[in-house]
A and B are shown apart, each in its own frame.
Chain A
């Protein structure tokens, strides 16, 4: 089976008009405008199989949204190849968008002044969904996302969490085999986040929908994604499982120890990450010293109430990965050119 989504060497450059500050600057801007070129995508490439749930992460401005926009056919890249289910999104836009669902977390696709159910019915008509299919799809979505009490409420009166649940349903009324979620948990409270996550998991495991999820919330990634693509400055930094990502950045493990007393602890092969009262967190490299050996050494010297070994949180890993590319980011090809108006 060929992959559902193929992206190869995708490049997109934005022209950003720069305005000099002050009154004189704006007058000068009328005749002579300086443009800055920003490479949002600089040769992105990946391929995704049917039914995969892929996390797409990167710092702000890395090109995540630009990729999603190109994949949804909204944005035309400068060069490179991009195919979703065998179609070039921006060239066969209408056929393409009928087979994808999109949620942009910061915006709603529901009609602000209409009750939720009317938005669903409008989408049914826009996507030409037959009444029977609409009934089964909407019944299922309403049950899964617990929307029954919200259906008659105008969208503007919904809380952010309620609105996001409705937006997810709205993206799926036409049962698309591919779903793009652009920061679907942004600004949500813990309960709503869990609801969104559970739903996305069911969608992927149960129905085999291919999902690309962009997010800044690493808990989303840990809870959902078998595969993570990390991008920065428009390039793919890392593409693989969470474990791959960890091992690429560092082998580091953390040993958390609950001491009986509050004495100082030090070990030549471990460094202290943080200390809160009697709780201590040590970082070590399992290739230099085995966890068993380290634990034995510490319990021999100190009275220990409790201890456990864990991986450093994925946030820390990703932050470290971003830091290493931060320097490169400043040197990104942002060339200043004078563009003729």
Chain B
């Protein structure tokens, strides 16, 4: 465990710093509740207007939406502001002066950057969606608890989703070594990630021709696959293949990230005198 010490120290420092942003999380919570309700109302009218059987039931869609709102911050949709500031100011020089594996260091940063805000939002969001909505007479629109098998499988799949998200996020941070500001990459990736992961529209509702593509890309592992495990839309017997897909993608993206970082370090020109 001694080898892990520097990485755990960075994780814990960054995590504690991120946990200070409670006010932002609370403010975001209200926006997300509003957003979740609008999405549910849209799906309700959509389901009411068709007689065809959909690949996913309305009750499942509702839970899917709330899970998405609760776990929104886990999506790799932005670059780490601290890394961006470091690259811009040239303080990244200090980061390169540490006797640690830089990729692992940045991966741990990404992990803290994703988990802290997720915890701040997920807990109150789940409580509200699961228990407060029925009290308001909106029981149809509530987040339903999972089966025991679904819940356990979901926990495992979410751990893998976190790793996958960190691998994508670290890749985005590494791209800052070329673009400096990272705005272009962020705009492109935000759009791609939120659409292709299922955060905007659950993936089962995409047309049939798009399904092979969605299955081939890594993004379903962030949202769609774990949520469908929770809902039971993917049976417990399908869990191993979900985990395998997530982990294979994570491994591949880690390799790409390491390769890019090694190249970036050879060409890096630290800004300023």
Contact = CB atoms under 8 A, between A and B. Distances in A.
Interface of A: 14, 60-61, 64-65, 69, 72-76, 93-95, 97-98, 100, 102, 104, 106-109, 111, 113-114, 118, 121-122, 125-128, 183
B244 interface: no
Interface string B67-109: 0000000000000000000000111011011111100000000
Q: Which 4 A/B pairs are nearest by Cβ-Cβ distance?
A: A125-B9, A98-B99, A109-B94, A126-B6
B5 A125 contact: yes
Residue among A64, A74, A127 with most chain B CB within 10 A: A74
Contact of A109 (B6, B17, B91, B272): B91
Contacts of B101: 94
A74 B273 contact: no
Given A14-B269, A114-B17, A73 B9 contact: no
A74 B13 contact: no
Interface in B219-273: 265-266, 268-270, 272-273
B10 interface: yes
Nearest to B14: A111
A60 B8 CA distance: 40
Contacts of B99: 94-95, 97-98, 126-128
Q: How large is the interface on B (under 10, 10 to 19, 20 to 34, 35 or more residues)?
A: 20 to 34
Given A107-B91, A109-B91, A102 B10 contact: no
B91 A126 contact: no
B270 A111 contact: no
Contact of A126 (B10, B96, B272): B10
B166 to A, nearest CB: 19
Contacts of A74: 93, 96-97, 268, 270
Nearest to A183: B273
Given A128-B2, A128-B5, A97 B98 contact: yes
A126 B93 contact: no
Contacts of B96: 72-74, 93, 97
A61 B269 CA distance: 14
B91 A73 contact: no
B152 to A, nearest CB: 34
Nearest to A74: B96
A125 B105 CA distance: 13
Given A14-B269, A74-B96, A106-B273, 16 more contacts: A65-B273, A69-B270, A74-B270, A75-B268, A93-B96, A94-B99, A94-B100, A95-B99, A111-B17, A113-B20, A121-B9, A122-B9, A125-B9, A126-B10, A128-B5, A183-B273
A75 B264 CA distance: 11
B273 A73 contact: no
A107 B97 contact: no
B15 to A, nearest CB: 12
Nearest to B269: A14
Contact of A69 (B8, B91, B93): B93
A53 B159 CA distance: 51
Contacts of A183: 273
B13 A100 contact: no
A183 B273 CA distance: 10
Interface string B1-43: 0100110111001000100100000000000000000000000
Nearest to A182: B273
B263 to A, nearest CB: 11
Contacts of A128: 2, 5-6, 99
Contacts of B89: 107
B94 A102 contact: yes
13 contacts: A14-B269, A72-B93, A72-B96, A73-B97, A76-B265, A104-B91, A106-B90, A108-B91, A109-B97, A111-B13, A125-B5, A125-B9, A126-B9
B52 to A, nearest CB: 49
Contacts of B20: 113
Contacts of B13: 111, 114, 118, 122
Contacts of B273: 60-61, 64-65, 106, 183
Contacts of B10: 122, 126
A107 B10 CA distance: 19
A75 B9 contact: no
Contacts of A111: 13, 17
B266 A126 contact: no
A95 B97 CA distance: 10
A122 B9 CA distance: 6
A69 B272 CA distance: 11
Nearest to B92: A74
A250 B40 CA distance: 84
A68 to B, nearest CB: 9
Contacts of A122: 9-10, 13
A183 B90 CA distance: 15
A65 B9 CA distance: 30
A100 to B, nearest CB: 7
B5 to A, nearest CB: 5
A168 B23 CA distance: 35
